[in-house]
Amino acid sequence: MTDPGDEGASTSGSSSFLGQHLEIDTDSAYGDDSESVLSAFTSAMSAATDYRYENGRRYHAYDDGAYYLPNDEDELDRLDLQHEMWKMVLKGALYMSPIPDSVQSVLDVGCGTGVWSIQFAEEHPGAQVIGTDLSPVQPSFVPPNCSFLVDNAEKEWAFDQKFDFVHVRMLCMGMHSWPRFFRQCWENMEPGGWLEVREIMFPWGAAGHGPQDLEQIAKSPLLEWSDLVRQGAAKVGIDTKACLRFEELLRGQGFVNVRRKDVQWPLGIWPKGEEQKKLGAYAVENLKSGLQGISTAVFSRNLGMSREEIEVRLAHARKDLKEGRYYAPIFMYSCQKPDVQKASAEPAFEARTISDAPASGKHSDNGKDQEPESNGRRMPQ
């Protein structure tokens, strides 16, 4: 793993790179090694920051090509807006798992701008939070209990600690093997720890139609665009519908207390209700740069489309987005690594989402979360 904060560049002693307590190296096996140290540091950093520029967007450099969305300023602004949308979905909460206040070690895989890691660290000053990503795009001014690493989550993990909460949000366009990923989560978690995974699915859906409705997809440039994202990703072994199978995969790995919540992000202000309208308005804003960011690399690299063809499809999809009643299917899972030392009583599960009925008091988990929601929009089977 490459630490953008640079500690990996220090080769001697226990101090930080800029640190106090520097020891004098009187016995260097390398002779005057300042040049080699500097060059190792420079190449580690440039492996992460020699970005790829393509079709007017900037893409990650570390393990070039592993992920299909850009990492430029437009994308980072979009991710921060999207973070607000996620919070709206959970009524202001950062997570839905019933983690204890004493949570200590937290991993945010594919942390993007780091906004979730930073806010979680602020809310839990007693926890140490590590965010990992292919891109070192996180701010350097962060709470003291928060740090970031450059890492590809699909490679073997090399943490020297175990985590009691692992958070994963919207990694799907960079994930080729979810079973392997869940195995690594399991191996790097404390017994009793929680894993939370929240994903968007492609293709998307329309009011009254499921995202699998091929006839509807053929009629709508936006839904067709979303299905082309699925097709382009599938060419390189990325299954953008894998989130439908997470429950089976998580249970297969051994996780217990698996909870699933299905939510539909309205793309526009067409649904009833103030909160849904606000979410829909944010989604439209998010897709202003999002449609291009999500699809350009996957269309050009994997489907062989020219820039002109992509722009034409985007123009049609944008027009359709304004006129139709569409939604993006979202799947949220929470599960626990069993603690064999402790009897595993089912913990209370109180997460409430934007689509839970108001005035019903606290959400009580009776297994109904898996049921499709019935506000005129069909959920995928």
Assess contact for 114 and 131: CB atoms under 8 A: yes
Identify the three-state secondary structure at position 174.
helix
Q: Which stretch, 108-116, 156-164, 260-268, 332-340, contacts ligand SAM (CB under 6 A)? A: 108-116
Rounded distance between C-alpha atoms, residue 19 and residue 299, angstroms:
47
Please, what is the minimum distance in Å from the beta carbon of residue 119 to ligand SAM? 11
Candidate residues 2, 97, 105, 135; the one interacting with ligand SAM per rule CB under 6 A: 135
With binding defined as CB under 6 A, does residue 110 bind ligand SAM? yes
Structure-derived torsion over alpha carbons of residues 29, 32, 37, 43, reported in degrees to the nearest 10: -120
With binding defined as CB under 6 A, does residue 152 bind ligand SAM? yes
Candidate residues 44, 45, 48, 66; the one interacting with ligand SAM per rule CB under 6 A: 66
Q: Report the residue number, 37 or 47, with the smaller CB distance to ligand SAM.
A: 47
Candidate residues 61, 85, 153, 354; the one interacting with ligand SAM per rule CB under 6 A: 153
Please, what is the minimum distance in Å from the beta carbon of residue 251 to ligand SAM? 23
Q: Which stretch, 106-114, 252-260, 263-271, 317-325, contacts ligand SAM (CB under 6 A)? A: 106-114
Please, what is the minimum distance in Å from the beta carbon of residue 245 to ligand SAM? 19
Side-chain half-sphere CA neighbours of 15 within 13 A: 10
Rounded distance between C-alpha atoms, residue 124 and residue 139, angstroms:
19
Q: Judging by beta carbons within 10 Å of its beta carbon (0-12, 13-18, 19+), is residue 301 exposed, middle or buried?
A: middle
Rounded distance between C-alpha atoms, residue 356 and residue 354, angstroms:
6
Q: What is the DSSP letter of 22?
A: P
User: In 96-177, which residue ranges form alpha helices assigned H by DSSP?
Assistant: 115-123
CA-to-CA dists, residue 245 to 62, 249, 258, 324, angstroms: 29, 6, 12, 29
Candidate residues 124, 169, 259, 377; the one interacting with ligand SAM per rule CB under 6 A: 169
Helix and strand tally (H, E) in the chain?
Answer: 10, 10
With binding defined as CB under 6 A, does residue 354 bind ligand SAM? no
Output the six-digit token pair for 297: 């690399």
Please, what is the minimum distance in Å from the beta carbon of residue 377 to ligand SAM? 23
Q: Report the residue number, 198 or 209, with the smaller CB distance to ligand SAM.
A: 198
Over the window 71 to 100, marking each residue x when it contacts ligand SAM by CB under 6 A and - when it does not, the resulting string is --------x---x-----------------
Please, what is the minimum distance in Å from the beta carbon of residue 181 to ligand SAM? 8
Candidate residues 174, 211, 266, 329; the one interacting with ligand SAM per rule CB under 6 A: 174
Q: Judging by beta carbons within 10 Å of its beta carbon (0-12, 13-18, 19+), is residue 317 exposed, middle or buried?
A: buried
Q: Report the residue number, 174 or 324, with the smaller CB distance to ligand SAM.
A: 174
Q: Which stretch, 34-42, 128-136, 219-227, 237-245, contacts ligand SAM (CB under 6 A)? A: 128-136
Cis geometry, peptide bond prior to residue 203 (ω within 30 degrees of 0): yes
With binding defined as CB under 6 A, does residue 111 bind ligand SAM? yes
Question: Residue 195: beta bridge partners?
Answer: 166, 335
Q: By CB under 6 A, name the binding residues for ligand SAM.
A: 60, 66-67, 69, 79, 83, 110-112, 116, 132-135, 151-154, 169-171, 174
